[in-house]
Structure 1
Amino acid sequence: MTKPEPLPDNDIFRVVSWNIEHNGIGRDGADERWHLAMDVLAALRPHVLLRQELTRADMYGGRAVWAEAARLGGHTAFLAKATPESANPTGVYTDPALLVPTEYYEHSTGMWHPVCNPVVKLKGARGKLSIASFHLCSFDPGRRANEAKRLTTLGKPGMAAIIGGDCNSYPHTAVEVQSLPDWGSVEDRSHFEHRTIDRNGERVSDTEPDRILSGIHDDRPPVFVELGHYAATCLGQPSALAPTASLWRKDQGERHRIDRIYATPQIVGALTKLEVVVNDEILEVSDHPPVVATFSLAALRRALSTATVTAV
């Protein structure tokens, strides 16, 4: 397959999804990892940043949120609420040079972490784009499935959306079935309980959220297209299937691709590249690497002309 030509700088629209472990803040309050994470993000230059584990970022008037927005160059910031179960909310940052917010929604029904969901107008495009950062439940496969069902409401007919986050579960497609965990080698048995489901009397890896979000049933189009799988199978980029977490844990088996970005079908054709970025700085910052999706800005503008539904 012929590789696409590199895009000129003025035709790039970059979406980054990153779970920065506890927002880069140590238990002793040390913030060296946060500053290093901001250096990484400044180099990636996202137009949209989908964040997970913005731990206690709502404290002190949202000081950490505004500091991150400033380090990104003055991005517009959105932060979902923390919950009694978790002080690690999701957030979204958008580049005001390209994106004008028009609405903001927070989806909390049945969600371990409420979904942060701004709707924006892409300058030069007629339609709107719904953007969401999510963090599916780490310990309950049933709740993850319900959360994925909730996310499908962002892919209603006519709606254009890009959503991404930490799925805490595995891809369902045949191309990746060989990379699912070998549970016999996993030392952390609570992890086994958290990440497996019963299927026909056998405990297997939980792939249900990905199946709900991007599964094809009766040859009908999926609600979303998972961008890593699309990049690998349609754009000739096998590295798009690189594993993500855990970069740190050794007792949970090998790394697996639990951090993923999805888009509604009408805008997937604008994607030009999907990569998982791992380097020494990222290995120091978090147990998850950033996932970076690059779109052609011109193609995305054209695709958004078909979007008619703007909100849930």
Structure 2
Amino acid sequence: MSTPLTVVCWNFENNGKGRPDLRAAGADLLRRLAPDIALRQELWDADAHGHKIFNEQTRALGLQGVLGAESCTAVFYNPAKFSVVRGWAQGRGPHFVLPPTALTLRYEDAGPDSLPFNAVSYHLNYASAEQRLLEAEWLTTWADKGWTTPGRSHHTLPAILAGDNNSYPTSSPGDLPLPDLNTVKNEPHRLHRSYAGPSGARLPDTRPDTAFRTAGLKDAALYWATAPHGDPSALSRTVNASHTHGPDSRVDRAYLTPELLAALTGFEVIEVDEALSDHHILRLTLNGDLLSDVLAPSMSA
């Protein structure tokens, strides 16, 4: 029987807004989802007092983890299934306002000679479309990391990148429609979520998604929504509509390098009560046996 693996992504905004009761509720919700990898954003104050809050959350989840610089992002992982081959605290590039957290992980069931893969939690800048594009371009470098096996064969590592994009996906059939910027009443937000097109008119910002796609990364939700045995609800909103900030949007997204799509067996958006967070949770399901096949060096050459 194949081993299911669960990957979740959640911007638990403001880490519960400084309220221990909300943090505890968020940790309880994630624990019930039983993630093997959790890609988190906005863990503010989790590094204070010797990482007290972060350590509480790792214990609550029953996982190990790495908290990124300034508590902007984190990666949690199940040590019974994954081990860290490399951390990227010193190799993420200089251009992030909110630094990502990236780990190179080995899936233990795939064996000691299997390829590891990169798991990246990120949070693109909220205020500048130009900054977001720069950050997205740098993030694609984790889809271009080389690896040499013990047999001296060379490979490019698979990668999972997920986070808050503060921007929209490129318009695709079945996806949520792009907003009419004229209906976004909050003028600063209208600026923040748009860019100046060739004519000078403001356009909804889809450029980070375009950058990821240009680099060969695949939007996991879009893939699953259009797969033969997939589910169109994978394209559900991850942020609710607001009368000031625009319609339902799919701001939070997960991207996979193409070979990992073979192991993807599910994708869903788990809605969260707005009293807890204004972002919903992404949950990806991977087939462990198929992932082992993908990570076998002979298959990944």
TM-score of the aligned structures, taking structure 1 as reference length: 0.86
1:191-246 residue CA offsets vs partner (Å, 9 max, x unmatched): 0100111222121100000000023xxxxxx5211101100112431100001124
Residue 13 of structure 1 corresponds to 5
Please give the secondary structure, in 1, of the residue aligned with 2:135: helix
Q: What is the rounded CA distance, in whole Å, between the counterparts of 1:307 and 1:44 in structure 2?
A: 33
Q: Answer yes or no: is 1:242 the counterpart of 2:236.
A: yes
> 2:42 matched to which residue of 1?
53
Gaps of 5+ in 1: 1-7, 83-87, 216-221
Instruction: Tell me the residue number matched to 2:83.
Output: 100
Aligned length: 283
Alignment of 1:78-89 (within 5 A): 78-82=66-70, 88-89=71-72
Match of 1:142 in 2: 130
Partner of 1:118: 103
Mapped to 2, the partners of 1:231 and 1:292 lie a distance apart of 12
Pairing 1:43–2:39 present: no
Amino acid at match of 2:103: P
- Whether the 8 Å CA contact 1:108–1:114 is kept in 2: the answer is no
Q: Could you list the per-position Cα deviations for residues 43-79 of structure 1 after superposition, in whole angstroms to 9, with x for gaps in the alignment?
A: 1110000000001111111111111110111x11101
2:17 is aligned with what amino acid?
A: I
Change (3 A) 1:206 1:129: same
Question: Secondary structure of the residue that 1:62 maps to in structure 2?
Answer: helix
8 Å contact kept, 1:48–1:93: yes
Aligned-residue identity in percent:
30
Match of 1:70 in 2: 59
**Residue correspondence of structure 1 range 1-312 to structure 2 within 5 A:** 11-26=3-18, 30-73=19-62, 75-82=63-70, 88-106=71-89, 107-125=92-110, 126-156=114-144, 158-175=156-173, 179-201=177-199, 202-215=201-214, 222-234=215-227, 235-246=229-240, 249-279=242-272, 282-306=273-297
Q: Post-superposition shift, 1:174?
A: 2.6
Which ranges in structure 2 are unaligned for 5 or more consecutive residues? 145-154
Decide whether the 8 Å contact of 1:16 with 1:293 is kept in 2. Answer: yes
Contact 1:127 1:307 in 2 (8 A): no
3-state SS of 2:284 partner: strand
Match of 2:152 in 1: none
**CA offset at residue 250 of structure 1?**
3.6
